[in-house]
Each structure stands twice: as C-alpha cells, then as structure tokens.
Structure 1
C-alpha cells in the first residue's frame, strides 16, 4: 500500500525560521561585553603569574650560585692545584659529606675521563656519564655549567653542577657536584603557592627539576608538548594556555632569564581565570531567559522534527559504514530526502566495492606470502651458497699458505696464479652476499674517526703486483668504516685492472671550502661510452664482452661501491672521454673534525708455540690448516666431529680451540659452551666457518667465542686467532666516559 506523502519543504526555510526567532543578536552582544571584561582580568592575572615566575627564577639562580661558590671553594684546594689527585679525592670526599644535598663530587680531566667520584673508592671504574654534553660545555666555555637532570644508576634524580679548574701546571679539569633536586624543591615550597596552582623548575633541556605537586612522580620527565610549544613561541618570557602532566588545562607564565638556561613556570587553572566570565554569563543569562522562553517553546516543535530526521540519517550512515542493510524513511524536508537517497546509493556502491576489495586483498595477501617465501629462500640460498663456496676455498688457501711458507721455487708462478684466482672467487662470493645485504637493508657500517689518507696508503701497500701511483695529503679525516672504504678502493682498482689499465693512479685531495674529501682512481683502460656511463653503477650490469669473458666478474663491484659510499653520506661518479681513452671514478666523502695522529702501535710480540684443538668436518681443510699451524710451530690436534673434540680436549687441555660451526653431531656453538665449561676462561675459542653474516658473528659472540673468522682464513687471520690473550680487564688502563 503506497504511503501518503505531504508537501516537502527546503531545509533552509526551517533554519531561517529558527534563527529569526529569539534574541540571538542581543545575547551575543552581551556575551561579547562580558568576554572583553574577562580577558582584561585574565591578562592582569597572567601578569601576576609572570612576576611570580621572575622572582622564583632569581631565587633558583641564587641557590645554584651558592652551589657553584661552594664547588669553587673546593676547587681551590692546594692538593688539586699541585696535581695530587689522591689527596684531593680525600679532601673532596670530606667536603661532600658536609653537603647533605650533594650526592657526590666528580673530577674529570680535559679529555672527559672521570678521575674519581667521592661516592666510590678511589680508582674504582666510573659508571657511564649521565650528561656528557654539559661536561664538554664546561670544558669549551670555561665557565660554570649546570647540566640536565637525570636518574643515576641507583634510580635517584640528580643535577650536575660543573666548573672548569686549571691547576698550577696548566692542566685543565672539570669539578662536578651532583645535587639532589630537593634543594630547588624547597625554594618552590617557600612560595606558599595556592593549592590549585602549580610551580615548576625546568632545566635547559626541557626536563622537570622540581615541582610543587607530584614531585616524585614527574621529576626528570620532559615537559608537556603544549608547554614546549609555548616556550618556543614566546621568547624568554611569556604566558599562555597549556596542559599539565596530569592533563589539567591551565594558564602558564614562564621566565627563562636564568643564567644557567633554566626556566621557571607558574600556572593556575584556566577555569579559575575564567570564573568571572562564567559568573557574568550566568547573571546575563538569567536576564534574558524569560525573553527567550517563548522563542524556545516555538522552536521546540520545529527542532524536534529536524532532530528526528537527522537521527534517522545518522543511523543509516552508521549502517553504511558497517556494511549492514538499512532503509531510509521518508522525510518531509526536501534536502534530507535527497540525502537519504544518496545514502542508499552509497550503500549499494559500498557493497560492490567491498566485494572487489575482498578479492583484491586475498590476491595481495597471496602475492605477499609468495614474495616473503621467495625472499627467505633467497637469503637461505645465499647463506648456504657462501658456506658451500667458502668451505672448499679454505683447504685451497691453507695449501697455498703452506707452499708459500715452504717457498718451493719451482711452483712460485703456479702459486701466484692459484692465489689470484682464489682471491677473485672469494671476491665474487663476498660481492654476492654484500648485494643481498644491500637489497635487504642489512649492510651496516662501524663508523669512527678515520684518516682516509692512511687507509688509502695501507690499502695500496697491501696490493700485489706493480705499484700504483698515489698522490695524497698527510691527513684527510672523515667518519668512516675502515674495512668498507678499503673494499671501495679495492673494487675500483680491480675494475681498472680487469678492463685493461696498465697505469692506474690514485689521487686523494681535501676541499676545505666544500667540506669534502675527494678520492679519484684514474686508469688508461678501455674507457666507456655515454650509455655505459649512465648504467655503470647498476647491480649485475656489465659492459658488453666477448664470449670468452676475459674480464670476468658479476657486475656487482661498482654497485657495492655506490651503496657503501652513500651510507657514508658521500657520492661516487664515473667519467670517461670515450672508448679507448680510460676512465676515472671519483668518490666524495664529508670531512670530519681534524684529529691528532694516533701514536705508533708497538710491535706485536712473537708468537709462542701453543696447543691447538682444530675441529672441522672437512678433512681436507682440517689437514691443510693443521699442517700450516704445525709449520708455524704449534702443536695441533684435529677432530672431525664434536665427540672427537671433547675426547681430545679431555686427553690434553688445549690453549686455543678453532671450531667449525657446521659439525655433523653438534653445532659449533654448543661445542663452544661445553669446552668453555670444561676449561674455563683461559681457553681461547675461535669460530672458523663458511657462514659470515652479521647474525652469525653475533651468535658466535653470544656462544662465548673470542673471535670469528670467515673461511677461507688467511695466514694473518690464523696468526691473529693464535695471538696471546689480552690482559685481564683489571690490568688494562680504562678510559670510561665521565659522569
């Protein structure tokens, strides 16, 4: 049965009727007048809060000045002036005991190394620094510095106050007192702030030092985002609305005029400031409520109709969003009727889209699963490939090292050829694994201050064959990974040699104006055309070659060069004047701060014969390595599985155990744990494996290995593996960071 439909009305007509009824303009005018008066009152209260923050900032500076003065008095000790650190330690310890709000006194030298702390015995190893930035600041600015608040190892909050000191011999120190925030808290408590207001002191890094409420809960925590925004926008002093750590809306005034970079904030609830506004609104509302009563009664009937219609549309919209079936009832308001029909159309369209989306998601999930399985299979394949290729290389390299040590004249040329080809094969394996790490984002660098000039000279000195011309300054300091940068240079030189260069030159220069170090490798080989130059750094891309492939390679070396250089924050480019005119590759790296040259390393002591347990299931590799170690003067016992190794270790305790990881009856990690349990820390454990990824190195360290070598191990690697163990930690000089 068809429903009866009356005349529809435009929604705008109903809204005009509602807005025309009543005294809205008069009400708005009255509210605005009350608002202006309330704003004036609020500004006056903000000014009072700012005066309070200024006064408290001066009081906090006075407390910090007192601590600096006390610390300066301690620094004038004759023992410190004479450089007698032990005597000064005893003096500082007595002085620290007389300061109940000091946790300890620290002394650091000009390198930032902690010489003592009064809450520990003299000579005890210092803990890591909780605030090294303020220590460096005190050394560089040569004035008193107050650091950031932090919790120490025991969980107690403290603030370091540091002053620079110079003794009579011209040596520079930093004397620090670690203060409890209670002293600053008492300054706040003396203000006797109202119970609904809040006062806080903040250090230069935006962390809470003292707070009139919930001190123990929020000390050392960062300030709220709203307060940080107010401080950033308002200059050194200002006021504005913020939120407290408890989530309360407040009006905050602050002063950052402290000599030590601290900030004092005082706030009061926003509701209290606006109380006058709401009181005025209440009075004014009482005056107009009678005049609005008739308008409200008339509008009530109209608004009910609108609200009912909108509620129906709201439920229909919710059903569309949830994908449920729905029906929009007829409305006498024309616009609402059109909206209902639009919702019905949207619901039908959404149902179709959901069906299509479900099919697409199913296919996408299947594709992602396949891609994930393919990625895992690729990683496992490359790991096994590296292991299986390195395993046969290990006995070959060991045999070559044996022949080199015996130095049989008749086979020198053959040994040179074999070593060159083995090195080439090892480089191919490493390139494959490096490209896999690059593709998965797992290639990592160990950056440290590095003299690039020394790295280049050492890399060229280690290369066999004809000397390569080198032009380099005495020093070019960068932040870099030494081994990876040597790999970059070796790949560029290998590329030059493979493509016909007979006169390769390396040039290193420093561009101080641009802040760059430039490393250039120039060759006189076959050169490149424009098409090759545009793709030379792409993985697996190679210049056209004859079927014989005399140049060899996988097309990975230059791609790896580009990625390593980019991870250092630099760039690499290729240049050539055309085929037959040679090529030039230029690497640019950002310069770092100039460092003093490190002292010459002491000559390594000659190795003494040691008892070695060699465990490898590859009998050829075990035999070759054992012979090589025997020629080096060591006593070697070989085993091809874990059971033989444990039995041999019980018969004769080894000094060094070189273990393969992939053993038939037990992996090398478990064997290392058992050997360590049998022979203790005196046994040196060395992993020798075809698996050489970063995860393998980390797992070896976790299992207790002292060193991890990747097959094939060179003679230098084996000598390093059999080197005498380092001094115990207690006998080594330590340079721990200052507190």
Structure 2
C-alpha cells in the first residue's frame, strides 16, 4: 500500500497559492521591463552610430573642400609655363583664404620639394615628411588624404597632408599638397549638443593615429589608438563594440569609416550610460516584486487563521452528523462554509438527501455531455491547426526538391519516389484542412452550371498517375453532354478523384476500375466500380465516418488517414446529393454510387485551366534588369530554399527572418517584390509590410503573402492589407514565377 503524502495546514496552502499566483506575474513584468530597457539601449546605440556617421560625413565634406580648392589651384597657367615663383605667390594668396591650411607644397614626381609657402622663395627646403600618401598619388593619380606625421621643420609640429595630382597632357607633372594641422579639426569633432556632452568624439587616420579628440587632445593627438580599436574598425565600415578607452575607462565605441579618405570617426560613450537603464529597471522590478510577495504572503497567512477556525467547526459538525447527532455551526464570514453548515443540517433528512443525490447525477450527466462537446470541438480545432502547421515543414521540402530538379540532380528513381510520396503528404494535409472546415461549417462552395463530364475528365487526370503505377485498367463511360449539374467544379472533381484513388489503393495491381455516369432516380448517378479486395458487411455502415478504413496490409504503401470517403460524403451532401457503397464481401470488389440532382440548364463543358509551364532557367537568367525579391520567413530552411530556387530562376534575392532583418535588408537591397510570411514572430507579415511602406515610401515593393493559412478569410485579410497575391505553403513555384513575370511585364510596359 502506497504511503500518503504528508498533509499541510490550510495556511501553507494559501501561502503557496498566493506566491504561485503572483510570482509568474512578477517574472513576466520583469521580462517586459528588461525588454523595454534593452530596446531603449538599442535606440541609444543607434543614436551614437548616427553621431559617428555624421562626424565622418563632416570630415569628408571638409576634406572635399580642400581637394576642390587644390584641384582649382593645380590648373594654374604658371605651372604650364614653369613659372614656379609666380605660382608660389598664387599659392600663398590661396592659403590665406583657407584657415585650415598651414602651408602649401609643390613636389616633383621624383620626391623633391619645389616650394613650401612656410619658407621664403629660394631658401633651402626640408624633405617631404609623409611619404606614404605621396607614393599613393604617384600610383593612383587620385587625390589622397594622408596620415598624421611629425613635420620636418624646426617646430616638429603634427600635421597631415591633402594631396592632388597635377596632370598635364595625361601625364603626372607634380603633386600639389595642402598641409593641415590637427587643431583645424577641432570644430568638426566638437559635440553638436548638450545631450552628448559625456561622449568623446575622435578622428583617427588610416594608420590608426588619433588626429582630433574632444577630450584631452593635447595628450592623445598623434598617439596610436588602442589595438582593439584598430582591429574592430578595420573589420567593418560601421558598428558598435565594447572596449576600454585610452583613458582606461570601460566604454562603448561607435565608429564609421569615411569614404574615400578611409579615416575613422568614432564616438565613445561610458558603458554606464547604456547599461544603467537595464540595471536600474531590473533592480527596481526585483525590489517591487519582493515587496509584493511579502505582502501577499502575509495577507494569506492572516486570512488563513479565520478560515481554519470555520473549517474546524465544519469538520466537528460533520463528525457529529456521522454519529447521529444534530450538527451545529457558528456563523462564519465565509459564504462557502456557511453553505456547508446548512447542507450538513439538511443532510439529516432522508428525502432531501435523495433529491440532492438526483441533482448530483443530473449535474454529472450534463458535465459529461459538455465534456463530449468540448472534446469534439477540440478535435476539429486540432485538425485545422495540424493541417496548418504541417505546411511549414512541407514548404522547404517541396522547394528543395524543385531546386534539385532544376539543377538536374533529381533524375534518379529515388528522387521520383520522394516527389511522389511528398505529393501524397500534401494531399493528406489538404484533406485534413477540408475536414476541419466542413466540421466547423466554414467550407464554402462556388456553384455554377456545368456538365458532369468536365469534372470527371479532370478527376481522371488527377488519379491517372496512381492508376498507371499500380497497372490498373480504367474504363470510362461518361457522356460528354446531357448530365447537367449545379455545383463547385473543384469540389466535384475532388469527390470523383477520391473515389478513383480509393479504388486504385484497395485493388491489387493489374485490376480493373470502371467509371460510368447516367440518369438515375430523376437525377444523375455516377458509379465507380473495382474488382479489388471488397468490403466486409459490418464495415459498410461506418465506411463514410472520419478515420474509418478497411483492412490494410502492414506496408500501407498507398496509405491515408481514412478521411477521403468522409470528405466525399460531406461534399456530396453539400451539393444536395448522396453517396452509397456496396460490396458482395471480401475479395468481391466494391461499388460506390453518387447521386446528384439534375440542373435545369446544361452548360458546355468547363474548359480545363491551362497548365503552367515552368519558366526556363536559361531564359529567366538571360533577362536584363533582374527583379529584386525580398523573402521574409522565420522558417530558415524554407526561406533559404526558396531564395536559392528564385536565384536559379534569374531573380536577385535577399533573405530576412524577422521584422528588424527585413527593414535592414530593405534599406540596402531596395526590393521590387517582398514575399512576406504572415506568421512571423513579434511582428507579423502585415506589420512588416506597414513598416516597409513607412520606411521606403514611394519606393515600396509589391507585397505578396507567403503563409500556411489558406481560408477565404485569410485571403480577404491579405488583400485588404495591400498584398497583391496570397501564396499558400508549400508554394507552387510555377505560380510564383508567373506572378513575378507579370510584374516584369508591367514594369516594362510602364517604362
């Protein structure tokens, strides 16, 4: 006999209830506060990066102005005539108009300094101080911003050159240089507002030397930046990382490299400025949560004392009733305990006891009925959700198979088996969704007058691959006219195809299947017969119920879920008809008869939809101006496989897996088409489309939904949200390419 768990007083149960109820709320609040603080920190990081980017742009504008002035000076006629003394005077006049320039130099291609405005004309000149940028001008014939170097003059001052080539007749004649002091960069790095007064703004040259700094410039200008700074800023053009400043303080460094000068602008902020919001928020939330837990525990402890007294009295009254004595309870402040006392007093009367027992039985029966109804509803919801969730893993598998096929790697029998079985799984998922919709009354029919022969021919086409694979002989006897019905062509095709597929599955290879139709009982009858394994008599009454199947072999090579015939009955009844099954027994074959009401007016057979042929890979790739497609899907496999398939089909593709990535990709990629998964985390596909429109404005792409939700309401919602097309997973690549090509045609027409 198992031992009983130790019991606890009521007060401890109340304490556990209070703590268990409040603790998740406190944890959830802490998570929310942490996320908000983290978002605030990310916003601060973005502000610092923007500041670094603005600093780099300001430096580049300043250098561009100096380069333009030097280029204008390089066109001087004095250089054409070789009159360097007159050119010296011209350089001196220009230098006085440029506050940032310390001196102007003219250097020959062999490295000799021909003039220096800091020295009188004709006096001996020192050699060129910074040779690296001079060599780059000789090599590239392009303007160059050099690095910080110590001058060769008596003052040994720090400066950096801005050099431009002097070209004559397509050949390099001289190198004209403006020497700029780091002090002239003070206004560029100065903090633009009081908001950033704790930030340190820095300019660093290509060799990693500090050229300008807002804090303690005398100490650090001309010094090399820290190795970690040089390593991180060389790795990318822009970013944020944590470091230790040259002052030895823990900081976050936001940097941006200017182009084409390739100098680095950095904004350094103390870590406490970005980390403090998160730490303070979590500390405050922890303190508040602790106070709430203590308060709730104390309140539960106090209230439990009153409850314990009332329950003890009720226990004593029940014991007295068991001994045949009249129960007695003191008035209680707890309504439930007051009712318990009254019930104990009434329980002494036999008649009332039987009435109470009857009421309890009725209540139990009602509870059981409600539970059965809820179980049925839960089953329908589960089927719908299962069908939807199965589409997500099917999408990358279907797309990957198409990629293999287009690469020419899917020609083996094994690939054909995979493709065939994959189509089988997709059909099972569709059947699940149809059953769920029928159970909830959400399956709508699009009725129109049509001839039964038009839908039967489409059904035969759909079932032919399985019939041929199992080597069956199919005979059809359906008149091309004279059998008018009012119905949904797609659903009636599904009914006939399900019956033919069912016959092919349950008929041994090499069997015979017959499809015939004609007038029957004032309506139209359609019969599917086979000479297969037949049906047991006890199975026929339950054959059209969901998940009911006849005996199968263990291999189940063409297995299903047992919902095909249930779908057939539901769809036929939705059309006002009926379906019946007959068999003479196991091994005697089976016959399924569908009766439909005749429609008054016959219509010509509905033309079959033209089969979409895949867009040839070579033709798509050869097109100019490839369409840029942004694929946004949190299913990484599905997104990558679809991107690869689109790339093979001649489109330029970018991939993102959530809203922030989509916005980031869109800024640089500028897509013309955006395929958005509706079920994205945090921000769904509708939200991503809205944010892309806000960010790109008139340059927004054409939006198409990519989702596992396929009901009419889902399509209406995506259309209302501005989506041009609604693709259901697993996606039909031919349908997608046809859509993209229609956009290409529209774009060409607009052009």
Short-chain TM bin: 0.3 to 0.5
- TM value normalised by structure 2: 0.45
- TM value normalised by structure 1: 0.45
Q: Larger radius of gyration, structure 1 or 2?
A: 2
